[in-house]
Amino acid sequence: MLRFAFLLCVVLLAAPAALAQPADPVVLVVHGGAGTISRANVTPETEAALRAALDTALRAGHAALEEGRPALDAVVASIEVLEDDPHFNAGRGGVFAADGSVRHDASIMDGSTGLAGASAGTMHVRHPIQLARAVMEHSPHVLLTAEGAEEFAMQQGLELAPNTFFHTERRRRSLDAVQQREREQSGDLGSEPADWQMHGTVGAVALDQSGHLAAGTSTGGMTNKRWGRVGDSPIIGAGTYADDATCGVSATGHGEYFIRLGIARDIAARAAYLGESCVDASEVVIHETLTNAGGTGGVIVLDAQGRVAMPFNTEGMYRGHITRSGAVTIAFYGDE
Amino acid sequence: MLRFAFLLCVVLLAAPAALAQPADPVVLVVHGGAGTISRANVTPETEAALRAALDTALRAGHAALEEGRPALDAVVASIEVLEDDPHFNAGRGGVFAADGSVRHDASIMDGSTGLAGASAGTMHVRHPIQLARAVMEHSPHVLLTAEGAEEFAMQQGLELAPNTFFHTERRRRSLDAVQQREREQSGDLGSEPADWQMHGTVGAVALDQSGHLAAGTSTGGMTNKRWGRVGDSPIIGAGTYADDATCGVSATGHGEYFIRLGIARDIAARAAYLGESCVDASEVVIHETLTNAGGTGGVIVLDAQGRVAMPFNTEGMYRGHITRSGAVTIAFYGDE
C-alpha cells in the first residue's frame, strides 16, 4: 500500500510538468541530416551557409503558419528551401547513385487526416516533396515509384529538371571516393556501406494554428546506391509519420535500420500505448532501440502542444526549430 | 481496495488462459488474399483447386519445419507454391498493371534477428519471395526496386522468366473490365480503385523448432495500377512484420490503408506495449483500427507459442494453418 501511495505521488508530481504547454510553443522543426558532424570537419564558411539555409527554411515555413495556412504548407515550404540548397542531400545536392545519376525519395504525412504520400527513385522532379504531396492529394495511392512517379508528376504539372541540374561537384567527388575504395577492396558489392554514405536527408515537422501536425522527409538517398535501393525516407512509419494525437516525426540516418525498426511509427506507438510524451519516446527509440540495434541517425519530433525533441546518436545533426513568436534555434553538434 | 482485489482476481484468472501454449501448436499459417469471397462467386472446381493449393503450400512449409529448418525456409517454401499457382495474385497469377505488364512486390522478415528484405516492381523474377530473401541475406539493404532489383536477382542467380510467363487469361479479362469501365466513366485516373482491384496477395508466417518466427508476403499488386504504384506488401511494418518477442504478421487488403496505419507493425506494437496477445491485438487492429479508417483486408498472425489468428473484415479470406503434428485447417468464408 505504501508503494502504491508512493507511485501515485510520483505520477501526480510528474504530470503537470509532462502536460505543460510551452508559453511560446515550437511550431516548426527541421533537420538537414545527421552524421560525422564535428567542428573539426565543418569549415566556418560551410557552417555559416548551413545555418543560413536552416534559418531560411524555418522562416519560410513559419511565414506559411503565420498566414494561417496548414502544417502541410509549412512542411513543403521549409523542405523546398533545403531541396534547392546544394549543401543538403536532397533535391539539388542529392548524392549520386552507383550509375552516376541522382535519384530522389520523399514522403509527407498529414497528422489530421492520416493521409500520406510518397515517391521513390525519381530523377527529374525538381521538388520531390511537392510530388509526395501530390501523390497524397491527387492520387488514390500512397507510394509511387520511378518512371511511373515521374509520369504522374508531369500529369500534375510539377516542375521538372534534367538530372544534371541536381549534380554537384562535391557529391561527384564523394561517389568517386567510394567507388575507388570499392575497387581497391574486395569488389564485394554486398558489403556494408560506410556510415557517412547513409547520412543526409532533410525533413520538417510543423504545427499549424488549428493544432494539426504534418511531417515530411526528402533525400537523395545513399552515395553509390545500386540495385534501385530505397531507404526509409519514402516509407511511412519509418522515415516519416504524423498523427495529431501522438507525434509528428521526420528521420535521418542509416535507412535500413529505420525501416526494420519502424522508427517514426515506433515513437508514435510508444506515445499512444505507453503514454510517453513524444520527447521521452523519441529519446528512448533513438538512444535505446536504434542504438542497441547498431543503427545510427536521428529524428525531429513535434507534438500538438508544440513540444520538440531532436535526439540523435551520431556526432551531430543539422537541426533547428522556430517558435510561434519567431524565435529561431539552430544547432549542429552533440554538445549544443 | 475492493476494486483492486477484484482486478487482481481478474488478472490471475485470465492469465493462465492467455499464456497457455496449445498442446499441438500451429507452426505455419498462410493466406491467399482477402476480398469478396462468398460461396456464390466461387465455383466448386475453383474452390477445390484453391483448397488444394493452400494444402500443398502448408505441407511444403511444414516439411521444411519437420526437417528442423528455419522458419524462413518454411515461409519461402509455402509462398513459392502459391507464386507458382495461377489462382493467386502473386507470381504466375499476378494481376496486370495499366500498361499490360505484371509487376511483383514481395518482402520477408526474420523474427529472430529483425533482419528483413523486400523488392518492388520486378517483372522477370520467377519467385519474388526468393528475391526478398536474397536482399535480406546477400545485400546490405532492405528494399530494392525495379530494374535495379532485377540486376541484383541476376547477380544472385535467381530464376528469371519473361513477363509473359506471368500472364493469365483470367487476369487479362480483369484488366480489360477495369479499363473498359474507366473509359465509360469520367476517365479520371485519380479515382479510388474498386475494392476488388486491391485484394489478393499471398503470405505465410512460420514458427520453427527453435522457437523463431518468420513472415513473408508476395503480390502482383493492384489490377490496372499505374504510376509505379507500390502497395503494402513490400513495406516492412505494413504488409509484413516478424519479431520473436511479439508476433509474425502477413497482410492482404487495400494496401494504402495498410501503409498509412502500419498494420503489421501496429499489431506487434500493441503486443509489446499494451501486453495484448497477438490474437487480441490483430482482432482490434483489423476490426477497429482498419475498419474505422475505412480500409478492408485481413492478416494472418502467429506468435512464438504457436497461437494463431486470421482476422479480416472482408466477406472472406483464403487462409489455412497447420499444426506441429500436421493437422491442416483451411477456410475461405466469413462463417467458417
Q: Any catalytic annotation for residue A168? A: no
pLDDT at position A17 is 44
Q: Which residue of A has its CA nearest to B294?
A: A114
Q: Give me the pLDDT at residue B262, please.
A: 98
| Alpha helical stretches, state H, chain A | 2-19, 44-66, 71-84, 128-138, 146-155, 169-184, 195-198, 255-261, 263-269, 278-284, 291-293
* Three-state DSSP state, A45: helix
* pLDDT(A2) > 70: no
Chain B residue whose CA is closest to A140: B192
Q: Is the dihedral of CA B21, B26, B28, B33 positive or negative?
A: negative
Chain B contact for A189 (CB, 8 A cutoff): yes
> Is the CB of A256 less than 8 angstroms away from the CB of B140?
yes
Which residues of chain B does A141 touch, with a Cβ-Cβ cutoff of 8 Å? 227, 229, 256
Phi-psi region of A6 (alpha: psi -120 to 50; beta: other; left: phi over 0): alpha
> Quick one: average pLDDT of A112-118?
98
Say if the Cβ atoms of B226 and A142 lie within 8 Å: no
Q: What is the pLDDT of residue B226?
A: 95
> What domains are there in chain B, each with its CATH number?
21-333 (3.60.20.30)
Q: Give residue for cell 500534375.
A: A156
Within 74-113 of B, beta carbons closer than 8 Å to A belong to 109
Residue B19 CB contacts under 8 Å (≥ 6 apart), including other chains: B305
**Chain A residues whose beta carbon lies within 8 Å of the beta carbon of residue B237:** 235, 237-238, 259, 262, 265
pTM: 0.93
* Identity of residue A170: R
Share of chain A above pLDDT 90, in %: 84
**Chain A contact set for B115 (CB, 8 A):** 260
Shortest distance, CA B147 to any CA of chain A (angstroms)? 7
CB contact under 8 A, A228 and B293: no
B247 touches chain A (CB under 8 A): no
Closest CA to A130 of A86, A72, A88, A214: A72
Mutation choice for A interface testing from B229, B285, B291 by most A CBs within 10 A: B229
* pLDDT above 90 (res A20): no
* Ranges of chain B with pLDDT below 50: 1, 5-6, 8-18
Residue A163 corresponds to which cell in the numbers above?
A: 538530372
Residue of A nearest to B264 (CA): A262
- Determine the pLDDT at residue B292: 98
**What whole-number distance in Å separates Cα of residue B212 and Cα of residue B64?**
14
State residue B21's pLDDT score: 76
Average pLDDT over residues A243-270: 98
Quote the mean pLDDT of chain A. 92
Annotated active-site residue in A122, A201, A223, A289: A201
Diameter over CA atoms, chain A: 71
The sign of the dihedral angle between the CA atoms of A32, A33, A38, A41 is negative
Residue B8 distance to chain A (closest CA, Å): 14
Q: Do A114 and B146 touch (CB under 8 A)?
A: no
In this structure, are residues B205 and B215 in contact, taking their beta carbons and an 8 Å threshold?
yes
Please name which of A128, A266, A131 lies closest in space to residue A201, comparing C-alpha atoms.
A128
Residues near B209 by beta carbon (within 8 Å), at least 6 away in sequence? B65, B68
Q: What is the mean pLDDT of residues A47-58?
A: 97
Question: What is the predicted pLDDT for the residue at B301?
Answer: 98
Whether residue A121 lies within 8 A of chain B, CB to CB, comes out as yes
The answer to whether the Cβ–Cβ distance between B269 and A273 falls below 8 Å is: yes
- Which residues pair with residue B102 across a beta bridge? B96
The confidence score (pLDDT) of residue B148 equals 97
C-beta neighbour count of A92 within 10 angstroms: 21
Angle at B197 between CA A112 and CA A136, to 5 degrees: 25
Mean pLDDT of A39-66: 94
Residue whose C-alpha cell reads 478492408 in the numeric block: B296
DSSP string computed for A192-242: PPPHHHH---EEEEEE-TTS-EEEEEEE---TT--TT-B-STTSBTTTEEE
Residue B20: which residues within 8 A CB-CB, separation 6 or more?
A: none
CB contact under 8 A, B146 and A145: yes
Query: Is this complex's ipTM strictly greater than 0.90?
Result: yes
- Given an 8 Å threshold on Cβ–Cβ distance, is B227 in contact with A144? yes
Cβ neighbours of residue A39 under 8 Å, at least 6 residues apart? A333
Closest CA to B95 of B204, B228, B218, B200: B200
Find the residue in A nearest to B262 (Cα).
Answer: A237
Cβ neighbours of B238 in A, within 8 Å: 236-237
Taking residues A64-70, report their average pLDDT: 98
Instruction: For residue B125, give how far its alpha carbon lies from the nearest alpha carbon of chain A (Å).
Output: 14
Across the range A243-250, mean pLDDT stands at 98
What was the pLDDT predicted at A223?
Answer: 93
Asked if B228 reaches chain A (Cβ–Cβ under 8 Å), the answer is yes
Helices (H) and strands (E) in chain B, counts: 11, 12
Q: Is the pLDDT of residue A186 over 80?
A: no
3-state secondary structure of A322: strand
Which pLDDT value is given to residue A181? 87
Residue whose C-alpha cell is 511565414 = A63
What residues of B are annotated to the active site?
201
Whole-number Cα distances in Å, A107 to A218, A236, B193 = 7, 7, 22
What mean pLDDT is predicted for residues A312-335?
A: 96
What's the first-to-final CA gap in chain B, in angstroms?
A: 44
d(CA B57, CA B257): 28
pLDDT at residue A11 greater than cutoff 90? no
* Res A18 pLDDT > 50: no
Nearest to A226 among B116, B148, B235 (CB): B148
Q: How many CB pairs under 8 A join A and B?
A: 148
Cβ pair B229:A144 closer than 8 A: yes
Lowest mean pLDDT segment, chosen from A243-257, A272-286, B193-207:
B193-207
The region, left, alpha or beta by phi > 0 then psi within -120 to 50, assigned to residue A326 is left
